[in-house]
Structure 1
Amino acid sequence: MRILHTADLHLGRQFNGIPLDDDHGAVLDQIVSAITSNGIDVLVIAGDIFDRAAPPTSAVRQFNGFLARVASETAAAVVMIAGNHDSGDRIASMAIMTDTRRALIRGAISSDEKPLVLSDAHGPVAFTGLPFAYEYAARECFADEALHTPENVLAAQVSCGRRNIPGAARWVVVSHAFVAGASTSESERPLTRVGGIETVSSAVFEGAHYVALGHLHRPQSVGASHVRYSGSPLAFGFDESDCQKSMSLVEIDAVGRATIETVPFEPIRRVRVLRGRHAELLLAERSDDFIKVVLTDDAPVIDGMKRIRDVFPNACELLYERNERVPEVKSLEVRAMAVASPVEVIGDFLQHVRDERLSENELAVMASSLGRLRETEDMQ
């Protein structure tokens, strides 16, 4: 069975105040084309369809038109869930008149998650959609006051879904969560209150042959190759300027092994960081890309951004490289000791205890956690 996995469309979002309607239209067209050109059996959208619970009318119309094209121009089934940016009730309303033989649309949490069961030449494949829900909603749904973390909630959802899977079926789980060890971006909204434990273990999905994840915007597998984020189709921050956006094309064989390829998105406007002298950048080819400019000029440039926008009309930020440098502190008498960063301290401790420094995945989790601690301190 061939699955096209995407997520985090964030329809209705803007980039630094600039509407993205045309950009979203282009990637939605590419999803439809990928379905038809790759013989896709199931399209999975793993949450954050819209950027906010009450999206603009233009975003709703855009998505409705997209679903109509999938229904009329392709034979693919659709499995989609609500993410933390979505209104669960809004997403659930899309399922009221839906052909349940061809679609599974899950907006609100349920204590009895029924799968969409499809068949290929090797037998049944069951798709379980687990919409995002906060702890308070899960405690009410499952009548369990012990659900205090996102992992508690997700474990309860997976357990309920697992009970309804036919014994011989291969199993695909669709979820919207922050799995421990994954790399984050600046544009993702936290899934829990300040100070809460946001991450969940990939082990919670035990038994699934493929886990289609949403929430994090970088395409990546985490914990195991079959537990995967497709990432967002568009970059929503300059920290994602180095990230190739893509869809995940997943083929599940007769025994449930998932083979994964990526289908790259081609945005009509890219997100780029340009570094150089002001006069040099003015000689560049005109571009409508979203641009962050880092000037290497020693002296301030008069009307710097205004003149940059003659070449890059969607330039969003301008700063000077000299302001990014850490000022050098000199002493006439005593040389100051270098102050180690928190990550360095933790890395040294781990090397001492387990003879191993932080891995790339651990560094990503540590940086994310320290960032939230700083935000908490700033709020106090």
Structure 2
Amino acid sequence: MKLLHTSDLHLGRQFNGISLEEDHAAVLDQIVEAVKANGVDALIIAGDVFDRASPPQSAVRQFNGFLQRIKSETTAAVAMIAGNHDSGDRIDLSAIAADRSRWLIRGAISAEEAPLLLSDKHGPVAISALPFAYEYAARECFESETIDTPEDVLVAQVAAARARIPEGARWIIVAHAFVTGGSVSESERSLTRVGGIETVRTSAFDGAHYVALGHLHRPQSVGAEHIRYSGSPLAFGFDEADSEKSMGLIEMDAAGQVSVEVVAFKPIRRTRVLRGKHAELLLSDPSSDFIKAELTDDVPVIDGMKRLRDVFPNACELVYVRNERPLETKSVDGPAVTAAEPADVVRNFLGEVGLENITDAEQDVVEASLTRLRQREDAE
């Protein structure tokens, strides 16, 4: 059986105030084409369909059009859950017109975790779609006051799902969680209260042949090859500039063993970090990519960002490398060093930040000011 695993679409999101609607349209097209080109039996979307609980209508229309294409242009089943950015009720609305024998769309948590049952020449495959839920909702759902962490929530959901799996069926779990050992990005929102234990151990998924995860934005396996994040299809921060975005094409054999093939996304705009002198960057080939410029210039550049946007219209950040240098440390070994005069400290500081040496007249002003400070301190 072939599965296509993706997650964390975050439809409706912007990048530094720049709309990503066209970027999302491109990756949604690529998901549809990957389903068709690879003869996929089931498409899995592991949460965070939208970027917020009340997404813009343009994002809702975009996603509804995508689902309609999957329904009309492919024969793939769909298993989809709400993530922590989603409204469970809104995700449930997508299930109203769905073919229940082919699609499993879960927004709100439930104690009745009935799977989507599929089959191939090797027998049945059961997909349990476990939507994200906070602890308070899980306590009410499972009537248990002992649920205190995201792991407790998932353990209860997995136990409810396991009870509904037919004997001998290969089992797939879809979940939205922070599994221990995962590599994070800056754009992910915490799944728990401040100070709470956010992570979930891999043992929570014991018995599953494949675990399709959402939440972390970098594609990765955690703990074992069959416990995997697909990652987000787009980069949402410059810390992800080095991350190749992809879908996971999963093939499961008769025994439930899986092989993973990475299907790379081809974004229409990439996220890049460029380093060098401002004049050098202005000689680069023009690009619509999202750019963070790390300038190595010794002094600030006049209208640096404005001029950079003549070449890179989607330049978002400009920083100076000299401002990010770590403080120099000295060894405590060696000869004693006499304390520097305050006026010398001021002069050295101005030199360190790249300003010209101050004149004698300016130095007299500094020394006079320091003298007044000393006199004030003595008077007190």
Q: Give the TM bin, normalised by the shorter chain.
A: 0.7 to 0.9
Task: Show the counterpart of 1:50.
Answer: 50
Given residue 336 of structure 2, which amino acid in structure 1 is its aligned partner? E
Q: Secondary structure at the match of 1:34?
A: helix
Alignment deviations for residues 112-155 of structure 1 (CA, whole Å, 9 cap, x no partner): 10000001000000000000000000000000000000000000
For each residue in 1:255-275, what CA deviation from the matched residue of structure 2 results, as whole angstroms up to 9, or x when unmatched?
Answer: 100111100000000000000
Identity %: 70
Partner of 2:366 in structure 1? Answer: none
Counterpart of 1:333 (choices 319, 336, 346) is 336
1:194 is matched with which residue? Answer: 194
SS in 2 for 1:261: strand
Instruction: Report the AA paired with residue 333 of structure 1.
Output: A
- Per the alignment, in what secondary structure is the counterpart of residue 126 of structure 1? strand
Q: What's the C-alpha RMSD, in Å, of the aligned pairs?
A: 1.1
Letter in 2 for 1:286: P
Following superposition of structure 1 onto structure 2, how do residues 67-106 of structure 1 map, counting pairs within 5 Å? 67-106=67-106
Query: How many residues get paired?
Result: 335
Q: Which residue does 1:126 correspond to in 2?
A: 126
Alpha-carbon distance between aligned partners in 2 of 1:278 and 1:113, rounded to the nearest angstrom: 57
Summarize the Cα distance change of 1:135–1:301 in structure 2 as closer, same or farther, 3 Å threshold.
same
Q: Distance in 1 between matches of 2:336 and 2:81?
A: 63
**Partner residue, 1:348:** none
Q: Secondary structure at the match of 1:67?
A: helix
Q: Give secondary structure in 1 for the equivalent of 2:132.
A: coil
In the alignment, the residues of structure 2 paired with residue 95 and residue 164 of structure 1 have an alpha-carbon distance, to the nearest angstrom, of 21
Match of 1:39 in 2: 39
Equivalences for 1:92-241 in 2 at 5 Å?
Answer: 92-241=92-241
Question: Once the 2 structures are TM-superposed, how far is the Cα of residue 66 of structure 1 from its aligned partner?
Answer: 0.2
Which residue does the alignment assign to 1:322?
A: 322
Amino acid at match of 2:89: D
Task: Return the letter of the residue paired with 1:141.
Answer: C
Local SS of the residue matching 2:63: helix
Detail structure 1 runs of 4+ shifted over 3 Å in the superposition.
329-332
**3-state SS of 1:139 partner:** helix
> What letter corresponds to residue 180 of structure 2 in structure 1?
A
What do residues 229-269 of structure 1 show as CA deviations (whole Å, max 9, x unaligned)? 00000000000000000000000000100111100000000
SS at match of 1:212: strand
Alignment-derived partner of residue 365 in structure 2: none
Cα distance in structure 2, aligned partners of 1:32 and 1:79: 15
Q: Aligned with 1:293: secondary structure?
A: strand
Unpaired segments ≥5 residues, structure 1: 336-380
d(CA) in 1 for partners of 2:216 and 2:129?
Answer: 17
Deviations 1:261-308 (A, max 9, x none): 100000000000000001000000000000000000111111101100
Match of 1:114, SS state, is coil
Question: Which residue is equivalent to 2:371?
Answer: none
SS of aligned partner of 1:190: coil
Q: Measure the CA separation in 1 of the matches of 2:92 and 2:129.
A: 12
Structure 2 unpaired stretches of 5+? 339-380
Q: Give the letter aligned to residue 190 of structure 2.
A: P
- For residue 138 of structure 1, give the secondary structure of its aligned residue in structure 2: helix
**Which residue of structure 2 lines up, in the alignment, with residue 255 of structure 1?**
255
d(CA) in 2 for partners of 1:49 and 1:57?
14
Answer with 1 or 2: which has the greater Rg. Answer: 2
Aligned-residue offset at 1:334 = 5.9
TM-score (norm 2): 0.87
What letter matches 1:203 in structure 2? S
TM-score, normalised on structure 1?
A: 0.87
